[in-house]
Amino acid sequence: MANLYMERLNDYWIIHMKDARLNGVSVELADFIKRSAKQGRVRYVPEYEALSIESEEELLSVSLSVVDIKDWLWKKENRLARVCRIMQQKY
């Protein structure tokens, strides 16, 4: 992507993005990105599972702790494992 730049500072990833639409984004991931955004406007459109990033003249800057990313992925994986166990029990 021409409008994306990432850098790592210690244990944080900084993502700079200008005006983008990301399709196929889950509600959970959209909320995570919205909470992490430092500049710009992030809007989730559930009908299209799309994340709209509008940053006008400023780049959208998101600061994500490596620990936060790992925690989010761990929770997501555990939630998926629980759903799989429930589905196995039902069928």
pLDDT of the residue at 59: 54
Q: Which pLDDT does position 3 carry in this prediction?
A: 72
* Burial per residue of 43-76, b for 16 or more beta-carbon CB atoms within 10 angstroms, e otherwise: ebeeeeeebbbebeeebbbbebeeebeeebeeee
Q: What global pTM score does this model have?
A: 0.50
Q: What confidence score (pLDDT) does residue 91 get?
A: 60
